[in-house]
């Protein structure tokens, strides 16, 4: 291990930053990497306790590593042996099966049990193999290019782009499991929300070392768009020379949020929003696998057997949950968990209960539906009307509901031009600054940028003069019959003698239109004026 050498014989572990005796370090790093295994989360908390108690005696400086989940290469697993890339989903161990499979010491088991409760349903239902993933057939269903690569344990550099809760991290989890099966692959997970460039550098350092032992590091970078473009540059050389295989996940359009150089080295995999059917299927599976409730249909007939001492939930209710969670499986599973926790044995959770029980949280903010357009439109109209109070309210409400700040900021840029225009051209400059600021700092810090800009635009003088005139030009162009008039010869450039001879640029001078004696509109349109006096005071 290079780096972190001290004068004594201690070397710091690149994963956890703790110091170890030189002779111990190789052994420790292997173990440390394993202890940070993504899909053995439950076991990890137990084993980590165990390890830290051992290490307390040796450790001189203990610093918590921000690197959250590091996947080992050929790490042993608590799951039944089966290929994560193939293997039918029914063979997959459920969360509870994983617990009972655990044959570690009883001591560890009891600690494990405590951590069981704290794992959210969404997390425990995370797909472990490709077949567990619902929907997304186009991007990585059987027959897709990615599917054929993954089942051969070939992992390309890729950017997973899709809305929240559609399965980006889940696909990474599948890749993690594939890596576990392959002695020459190791998986590391970082999130740009919690780690910085130094963590990436650390991963690269370990990856270089691992490469000497013929182990390729696959780095999963969640929310990669949160790194700015300069920070994203850090990945470039290492992706290029193959030190790491990069899998980035982002909810934002990569063409805006990612570095072009990085994009050209990665395959962009577009994940679509899960449909209501997909989410319904995920919810039903969660109920059945964990025996959480008895599902009943419209005529009160039980759909699954299940343990009698469970509450009942109607298919209708499950579907409603799927509908309101707007394609976000995590939101749907959390809502289901919340709902079932409230139900007592033999009660039926009806649609009515559900609607009353679940508060108006962000999950009811429909990011792509009508409400999304309504709120943004209300903001824009308040700005146009000069109502700063209402503009502030609607812009803040949009962000509160989970709206993408960049979407709101783009709308502000548009409003700055459309409604304020030449009455106060600086508004456009400031709106663009707001958009860039939002891009740079993201939520939650950018909320006040949006608020300030919305109020600024509402208070500004307004002019729709240019916008209206432009609309008239567009209309005229659209309605024009036959070929459009050509550019007058005197307005053309004459870079060659031939062109000069043809009359290009003839008579052109640099004077103002009032004194130049030339026309600047095309022939036949000399008297066309797109401006209207009445627009100016609007
Ligand atoms: N396509 C899917 N098939 C099955 N389960 C899914 C799918 N997508 C999401 N889930 C469930 O929802 C949970 C959250 O999904 P995941 O973390 O993969 O979403 P994500 O796309 O990474 O979202 P985010 O951008 O919010 O991190 C998973 O743990 C899993 O239980
Ligand atoms: Zn360590």
Which residues neighbour ligand 2 (ion) by CB within 5 Å? 13, 15-16, 32
CA angle, 282 as apex, 162 and 166 as ends, to 5°? Answer: 5
| Distance of alpha carbon 15 from alpha carbon 493, whole angstroms | 64
From residue 289, give the alpha-carbon distance in Å to each of 143, 282, 304, 321, 343: 27, 10, 11, 18, 18
Q: Measuring from atom 7 of ligand 1, which residue has the nearest CA?
A: 167
Q: How far is the CA of 129 from the centre of ligand 2 (A)?
A: 28
Burial class (CB in 10 A: 0-12, 13-18, 19+), 508: middle
- Is there an atom of ligand 1 within 6 Å of 337 CB? no
- Is there an atom of ligand 1 within 6 Å of 313 CB? no
Q: Measuring from atom 8 of ligand 1, which residue has the nearest CA?
A: 167
pLDDT tens per residue across span 366-406 = 444 556 778 899 999 999 999 999 999 999 999 987 788 99
Only one residue has tokens 């006096």, namely 533
Tokens of 379: 């903001």
- Taking every pair of Cα atoms in the chain, the longest distance, rounded to a whole number of angstroms, is 98
| Distance of alpha carbon 257 from alpha carbon 255, whole angstroms | 6
Full-model pTM: 0.54
Helices (H) and strands (E) in the chain, counts: 26, 11
Q: How far is the CA of 65 from the centre of ligand 1 (A)?
A: 26
**Nearest ligand, CA of residue 279?**
1
- Is there an atom of ligand 1 within 6 Å of 283 CB? no
- Ligand 1 atom showing the smallest separation from residue 123 Cα: 29
Q: How far is the CA of 14 from the centre of ligand 2 (A)?
A: 7
**Nearest ligand, CA of residue 269?**
1
R_g (Cα) of the chain, nearest Å: 30
| Distance of alpha carbon 114 from alpha carbon 117, whole angstroms | 6
- Is there an atom of ligand 1 within 6 Å of 164 CB? yes
- Is there an atom of ligand 1 within 6 Å of 248 CB? no
> Are 127 and 215 in contact, with CB atoms under 8 Å apart?
no
From residue 202, give the alpha-carbon distance in Å to each of 1, 301, 381: 12, 57, 49
Question: 430 phi and psi, to 5 degrees?
Answer: -70, -35
Only one residue has tokens 């926790």, namely 341
> Are 252 and 225 in contact, with CB atoms under 8 Å apart?
yes
Tokens of 311: 């509450």
Peptide bond before 444: cis, by omega within 30 degrees of 0?
Answer: yes
Q: Please say whether the dihedral angle defined by the alpha carbons of residues 112, 115, 117 and 122, taken in this order, is positive or negative.
A: negative
Report the phi/psi class of residue 153: left, alpha or beta, with left for phi > 0 and alpha for psi in -120 to 50.
left
> Are 316 and 305 in contact, with CB atoms under 8 Å apart?
no
| Distance of alpha carbon 246 from alpha carbon 418, whole angstroms | 41
- Is there an atom of ligand 1 within 6 Å of 125 CB? yes
- Is there an atom of ligand 1 within 6 Å of 269 CB? no
Note down pLDDT in tens along the chain; length 538 residues. Answer: 333 333 457 777 666 666 677 777 766 665 555 444 322 333 333 333 333 333 333 333 333 333 333 333 333 333 333 444 444 333 333 322 222 233 333 333 333 333 344 688 999 999 999 889 999 988 888 888 999 999 999 999 999 999 889 999 999 999 999 999 999 999 999 998 888 889 999 999 999 999 999 999 999 999 998 888 888 998 999 999 999 999 999 988 888 888 888 999 999 999 988 999 999 999 999 998 888 888 888 887 787 765 566 788 888 889 988 887 778 898 889 888 888 877 777 788 877 777 665 544 444 444 445 567 788 999 999 999 999 999 999 999 999 877 889 999 999 999 999 999 999 999 999 999 999 999 998 878 899 999 999 999 999 999 999 999 999 999 999 998 888 898 999 999 888 888 888 888 899 999 999 999 999 999 999 999 999 988 875 4
pLDDT tens per residue across span 192-251 = 888 888 999 999 999 999 999 999 999 999 999 888 888 899 899 999 999 999 999 998
- Is there an atom of ligand 1 within 6 Å of 133 CB? yes
Tokens of 403: 């709206």
- Ligand 1 atom showing the smallest separation from residue 332 Cα: 12
- Assembly ipTM: 0.94
Mutation pick for ligand 1 pocket among 89, 94, 120, 126 (CB with most ligand atoms within 8 Å): 126
Q: How far is the CA of 16 from the centre of ligand 2 (A)?
A: 4
Tokens of 253: 């359009």
Query: Cα(first)–Cα(last) distance of the chain, in Å?
Result: 70
Report the phi/psi class of residue 327: left, alpha or beta, with left for phi > 0 and alpha for psi in -120 to 50.
left
From residue 150, give the alpha-carbon distance in Å to each of 32, 153, 250, 510: 26, 5, 20, 65
**Nearest ligand, CA of residue 327?**
1
- Ligand 1 atom showing the smallest separation from residue 329 Cα: 12
From residue 12, give the alpha-carbon distance in Å to each of 111, 154, 257, 505, 527: 28, 32, 35, 74, 80
**Nearest ligand, CA of residue 95?**
1
| Distance of alpha carbon 267 from alpha carbon 20, whole angstroms | 40
203 alpha-carbon distance from chain centroid: 22
């Amino acid at each position: 291990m290079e780096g972190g050498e001290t004068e004594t014989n201690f070397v710091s572990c690149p994963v956890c930053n703790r110091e170890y005796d030189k002779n111990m370090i190789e052994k420790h790093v292997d173990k440390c990497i394993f202890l940070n295994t993504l899909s053995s989360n439950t076991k990890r908390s137990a084993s980590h306790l165990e390890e830290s108690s051992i290490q307390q005696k040796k450790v001189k400086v203990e610093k918590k590593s921000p690197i959250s989940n590091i996947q080992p290469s050929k790490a042993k697993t608590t799951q039944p042996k089966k290929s994560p890339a193939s293997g039918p989903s029914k063979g997959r161990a459920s969360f509870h099966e994983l617990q009972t499979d655990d044959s570690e010491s009883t001591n560890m088991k009891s600690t494990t049990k405590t951590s069981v409760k704290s794992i959210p349903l969404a997390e425990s239902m995370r797909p472990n193999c490709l077949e567990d993933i619902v929907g997304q057939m186009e991007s990585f269903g059987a027959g897709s290019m990615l599917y054929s690569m993954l089942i051969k344990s070939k992992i390309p550099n890729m950017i997973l782009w899709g809305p929240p809760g559609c399965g980006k991290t889940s696909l990474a989890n599948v890749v993690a499991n594939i890596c576990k099966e392959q002695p020459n692959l190791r998986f590391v997970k970082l999130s740009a929300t919690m780690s910085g460039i130094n963590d990436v550098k650390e991963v690269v350092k370990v990856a270089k070392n691992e490469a000497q032992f013929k182990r390729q590091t696959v780095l999963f970078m969640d929310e990669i768009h949160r790194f700015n473009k300069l920070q994203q540059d850090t990945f470039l050389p290492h992706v290029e020379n193959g030190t790491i295989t990069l899998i980035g996940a982002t909810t934002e359009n990569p063409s805006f949020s990612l570095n072009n150089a990085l994009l050209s080295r990665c395959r962009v995999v577009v994940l679509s929003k899960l449909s209501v059917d997909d989410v319904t299927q995920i919810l039903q599976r969660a109920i059945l696998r964990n025996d959480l409730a008895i599902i009943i249909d419209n005529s009160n007939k039980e759909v699954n057997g299940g343990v009698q001492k469970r509450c009942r939930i109607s298919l209708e209710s499950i579907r409603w949950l799927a509908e309101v969670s707007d394609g976000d499986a995590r939101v749907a599973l959390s809502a289901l968990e919340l709902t079932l926790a409230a139900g007592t044995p033999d009660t039926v959770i009806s649609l009515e209960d559900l609607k009353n029980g679940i508060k108006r949280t962000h999950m009811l903010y429909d990011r792509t539906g009508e409400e999304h357009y309504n709120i943004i439109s209300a903001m824009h109209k308040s700005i146009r009307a000069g109502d700063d109070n209402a503009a502030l309210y609607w812009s803040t409400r949009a962000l509160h509901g989970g709206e993408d700040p960049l979407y709101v900021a783009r709308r502000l840029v548009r409003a700055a031009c459309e409604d304020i225009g030449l009455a106060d051209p600086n508004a456009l400059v400031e709106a663009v600054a707001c958009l860039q600021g939002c891009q740079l700092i993201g939520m939650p810090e950018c909320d006040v940028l949006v608020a300030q800009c919305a109020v600024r635009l509402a208070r500004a003088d307004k002019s729709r003069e240019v916008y209206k005139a432009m609309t008239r030009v567009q209309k005229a162009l659209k309605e024009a019959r036959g070929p459009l008039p050509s550019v007058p010869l005197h307005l053309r450039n004459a870079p060659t003698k031939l062109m000069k001879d043809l009359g290009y640029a003839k008579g052109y001078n640099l004077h103002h239109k009032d004194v130049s004696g030339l026309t600047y509109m095309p022939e036949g349109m000399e008297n066309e004026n797109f401006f209207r006096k009445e627009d100016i005071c609007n």
